[in-house]
Structure 1
């Protein structure tokens, strides 16, 4: 199977940073986030067996969402200095690995992933096949990206669960279990309930249950407001208190819908030849970089993926490997 794996770099780094106990390089630099990222990278290549692999990162600049809503993500704390350093550490590791990195000014990594996924599985292709690809798997801990899951087009999400200790492939049937609605309704669901993490309001007073009921009954945000207009401010079988909130929050709902929707028009182009999977066990620069960082058990693990040799136990790192 020809499978493209798209890794959400910042999402995995942040998850590893909070999931792993403190770890430092031989020179004393914090490194648990970098260690966790590489561990996930190795697990992904081993378990998913991709034919193509890409890592996508955010850029430290404003995006179209910040331009649309000045308070977007405004309440997020400044990134800890040791995490900033580890993000750069991961980028150096990815660079020497030969895995291509994609970014786009004015867009988030989610948008870059959405654009690449769209290019990889064009809608006109039978069974989701495009350019010889059979499947696209997105590796992330961000549930918002589950709006891209599409069984017909062969797009799924590989989501870490229980910190970093486990992961599962999420298809359309499982998305509702995670988010509460099907992939095609996630954007409108977020438009109604808002997002405290990204700091946009949705419709004040509308919670998850009410949003689920509204979308189940009317199908989309546009249809909810069309029916409201037809009913002159009333909706069949919907409490007046709910319709009042919808009417008062209409502008906020459509702004939130815009912010929630992953863009699929970022200025990037999928280069499948460049993304062909590399044999990391033969990449001397990559292995040397891991040794410099003190990730000896990961070096052993890379060899084990090829030779099936038993890895040597290293007390400090072995305890962390149990998280995987």
Structure 2
């Protein structure tokens, strides 16, 4: 099987968090928690075997506040502190993924979503078909035009516009407008109080972007119900703030070229250390599968 021509951009934190909370607890014989790592490593091994990627980036969040916290101190303030057992695996994952031959993308003050958006722009500029491997709905705002979304499930196809339309009833080009209005409880993004997904989609499909919706609302457009106009006007400051919070940055200064993301041969001596520490026998077999 020839190498894949796509540029894969992988949401590491998405996988690790999902594995940690969904899979049964897994500990080594010495008592070290390894469940999240085990699930992610198994997926990466299957990914290497099935897709044979030539180019791939694995994106990680970095510790500390972001520009979104500066704009809105309550950003993600509703989230409980991560379990220390998960935090330790997140730290280890970077070195383990590097040893497997992948290039890590991380930047202080940057979230993985912004890294993925920046790398998608880099991939498009380099003439590649971009596949972002994530379950995060925010990333749909950069989908389309050569950028596809994939959940990572072997039997699922790459998707973009059709999924955004079926899930949210708006096209990818209007995803940031949709999120600005409905908000996002998981990130503590306020949106417009009292306006739900159905009404948000109707407004977008009728008028377009946030600026156009507010132009119509402030003019008292008869196509908008008076109650909705009232809610929009009351929430304008909140919606405009939310728009800044949900908009992904696609121009982060990574200091890397596209060729830096060529998948390399694994570092067998380092993989052996990880395999012995976490008792991942299949990790040592990965080189034979590529």
Q: Give CA deviations for 1:195-253 in whole Å, capped at 9, x if unaligned.
A: 00000110100000000110111111110111223x2xx12222111000001001111
User: Which residue does the alignment assign to 1:71?
Assistant: 74
How far apart, CA to CA, are the structure 2 residues paired with 1:173 and 1:74? 33
2:42 — aligned with what?
39
SS in 2 for 1:170: coil
Report matched runs for 1:84-233 at 5 Å: 84-122=87-125, 130=126, 133-150=127-144, 152=145, 154-160=146-152, 167-229=156-218, 231=219
Q: 1:7 pairs with 4, 10, 28, which one?
A: 10
Q: Once the two structures are superposed, what CA deviation does each residue of 1:51-91 show, in whole Å capped at 9, x if it has no partner?
A: 11111111111000000011100010000011111112212
* Unaligned stretches of 5+ residues in structure 1: 123-129, 307-324
The Cα offsets for residues 302-322 of structure 1, whole Å up to 9 and x where unpaired, read as 26634xxxxxxxxxxxxxxxx
- The separation in 1 between residues aligned to 2:157 and 2:32, in whole angstroms, is 32
- Counterpart in 2 of 1:294? 279
Q: TM-score, normalised by structure 2?
A: 0.92
Q: Which runs of 5+ in 2 are unaligned?
A: none
Q: Is the 8 A contact 1:114 1:262 kept in 2?
A: yes
Mapped partners of 1:91, 1:134: distance in 2: 25
Distance in 1 (alpha carbons) for counterparts of 2:279 and 2:221: 62
- State the alpha-carbon separation in 2 of the partners of residues 68 and 166 from structure 1: 40
What is the CA-CA distance between 1:135 and the residue it aligns to? 1.0
* Distance (Å, rounded) in 1 between the aligned partners of 2:194 and 2:155: 35
1:317 aligned residue? none
> TM-score, with normalisation over the residues of structure 1?
0.83
Number of aligned residue pairs: 287
